[in-house]
A = this chain, B = another copy of it.
Amino acid sequence: MREAAVVARHPTQDRILDEAERLFAHHGFAGASLQELAERVGLSKSSLFHHFPTKIELYAAVLERLFEHLWISIESRVDRQAGPWTRVGQTIDLLIDFLAERPTTAKLLLRSMIERDFEDAGLTPEELRERHGQYLARIIQFFIQALQDGTNAGVFRPQHIGHFIQSVVGATLFHFASGNFGEEMIDGDLYAPKNVAARKEEVKNFIRLGLEERK
């Protein structure tokens, strides 16, 4: 039933995952109702359990697919041969494009990092890592590598990489998840193309200022 392929996995399951992604993002794991999910997909509630054994497994599948898509998007389109600046910039562009594609993504990602639904449900950290943690780890590792290459080559100023990533991730994820607050801040729709482009420039500018060697 479960396959590694990303495309054309299983039409019904993908429809379930699409709607589940929206519901989990909006209401959180506890707040999302399987009854409502079933209605939106056009199935009976019991049919959901034919495709996914439990609610927490469904949630894990949603996140797994999300992280997998993100990782593939980055891994397949960032030029590994390019210089550190290019790699860092491309990664940011792809991350923001990914978040901008669907307004639920950033909220769901933020939730998955903030909340402890899996731990509460009794999953061990090892199982967690096996499900979707591996993709997140790869993405971060990819970014860390670019930063270290830049520092070693002397084009990036030395910095605390962990703190730096926390700032970048925070400035990116939070922005696209910030709902009404963010819309008041930038006075417009967070997901309007022109505002998405502006956000890209803001984050990349921040990175440039943070990494650039000062003369």
* A contacts, CB < 8 Å to B: 26-31, 107, 110-111, 113-116, 120, 125, 136, 140, 160, 162-167, 169-175, 177-182, 185-187, 198-199, 202-203, 205-206, 209-210
Contacts and interface: CB of A to CB of B under 8 A. Distances in A.
10 pairs of A and B residues whose beta carbons are closest in the complex: A30-B31, A170-B174, A162-B185, A170-B170, A167-B171, A162-B186, A170-B171, A163-B202, A209-B209, A28-B28
Contacts of A113: 178-181
Given A27-B30, A209-B210, 7 more contacts: A30-B31, A113-B178, A113-B179, A114-B179, A166-B202, A167-B203, A170-B174
Contacts of A111: 114
Contacts of A164: 202
Nearest to A175: B166
9 contacts: A27-B115, A28-B115, A111-B114, A160-B202, A166-B171, A166-B186, A170-B174, A170-B175, A209-B210
Find the residue from A31, A164, A166, A182 having the highest chain B CB count within 10 A: A166
Binding site secondary structure of chain A: helix
A145 to B, nearest CB: 15
B210 A116 contact: no
A118 to B, nearest CB: 10
Contacts of A115: 27-28
Nearest to A199: B163
Contacts of A198: 160, 163
A160 B205 CA distance: 12
A185 B185 CA distance: 28
Given A115-B28, A210-B206, A163 B181 contact: no
B26 A28 contact: no
A31 to B, nearest CB: 3
